Amino acid sequence: SLDVSTLTRQSGLTALDYGFVNTAATKSSITYIDGDQGILRYRGYPIEQLAASSTYLEVAWLLIYGEMPTADQLGEFDEKIRRHTLLHEDLKHFFSALPHTAHPMAVISSALSALSTYYESAADPSDPEQVELTTIRLLAKLPVIAGYAHKKATGQAFLYPDNSLSFVDNFLRLNFGNMAEPYEIDPVLSKALDRLLILHADHEQNASTSTVRLVGSTGANLYASVSAGINALSGPLHGGANEAVLEMLGRIRDSGEGVSKFVERVKNKEEGVKLMGFGHRVYKNYDPRAKIVKESADEVLAQLGVSDPLLDLAKELEQIALEDDYFKERRLYPNVDFYTGVIYKAMGFPTRMFTVLFAIGRLPGWVAHWREMNEDPQTKIGRPQQLYTGSAARDLPQR
Among 337, 340, 347, 361, binds ligand ACO (CB under 6 A): 337
3-class secondary-structure state, position 334: strand
β pairing state of 45-46 and 31-34: unpaired
Asked if residue 279 binds ligand ACO (CB under 6 A), the reply is yes
Catalytic residue selected from 200, 203, 280, 369: 280
Of 41, 274, 315, 352, the residue at the interface with ligand ACO (CB under 6 A) is 274
Kindly tell me which of 195 and 280 has the beta carbon lying closer to ligand ACO.
Answer: 280
How many angstroms separate the CA atoms of 73 and 58, rounded? Answer: 9
Residue 334 as a binder of ligand ACO (CB under 6 A): the answer is no
The answer to whether the beta carbons of residues 399 and 242 sit under 8 Å apart is: no
**Residue 281 contacts ligand ACO per CB under 6 A:** yes
The CA distance from 372 to 382, in Å, is 15
Q: Is 241 in the site for ligand ACO (CB under 6 A)?
A: yes
Q: Tell me the chain's radius of gyration from C-alpha atoms.
A: 22
Residues 6+ apart with CB under 8 A from 283: 33, 35, 38, 333, 335
Decide: is 265 part of the binding site for ligand ACO (CB under 6 A): no
Q: How far is the CB of 37 from ligand ACO (least distance, A)?
A: 17
Whole-angstrom Cα distance, residue 277 to residue 262?
14
If DSSP codes are grouped into helix, strand and coil, which group holds residue 93? helix
One of 82, 150, 173, 280 touching ligand ACO (CB under 6 A):
280
What phi and psi values does residue 48 have, to the nearest 5 degrees? -65, -40
Stretch 4-43: interaction string toward ligand ACO, x if CB under 6 A: ---------------x------------------------
Is position 335 an interface residue for ligand ACO (rule: CB under 6 A)?
Answer: yes
276 binds ligand ACO (CB under 6 A): yes
The answer to whether 230 contacts ligand ACO (rule: CB under 6 A) is no
280 is catalytic: yes
CB 321 to ligand ACO: min, Å: 8
Q: How far is the CB of 274 from ligand ACO (least distance, A)?
A: 4
Q: Are 242 and 277 in contact (CB under 8 A)?
A: yes
Q: Would you call 34 a catalytic residue per the annotation?
A: no
- What span, in angstroms and rounded, lies between the C-alpha atoms of 193 and 217? 32
> Residue number with the shortest CB distance to ligand ACO?
279
H helix runs in the chain, sequence order: 4-11, 47-53, 56-65, 71-83, 91-96, 104-116, 128-154, 167-176, 187-200, 207-216, 222-233, 241-255, 259-267, 288-304, 309-322, 325-329, 337-347, 354-375
CB of 166 to ligand ACO, least distance (A): 26
Please name which of 135, 143, 196, 199 lies closest in space to residue 166, comparing C-alpha atoms. 143
Amino acid letter, residue 28: S
Q: Active site residue: 337, 369, 376, 395, which one?
A: 337
Among residues 112, 146, 215, 336, the one that binds ligand ACO under rule CB under 6 A: 336
57 binds ligand ACO (CB under 6 A): no
The correct pick among 51, 139, 266, 347 for binding ligand ACO (CB under 6 A) is 266
Q: Using CB under 6 A, which of 237, 247, 299, 328 touches ligand ACO?
A: 237
Q: CB under 6 A: which stretch of 39-47, 312-320, 335-343, 345-353 binds ligand ACO? A: 335-343
> Does 194 sit near ligand ACO (CB under 6 A)?
no
Q: What count of other Cβ atoms lies within 10 Å of the Cβ of residue 158?
A: 15
Active site residues: 280, 337
Binding site for ligand ACO (CB under 6 A): 19, 237-239, 241, 266, 274-281, 330, 332, 335-337
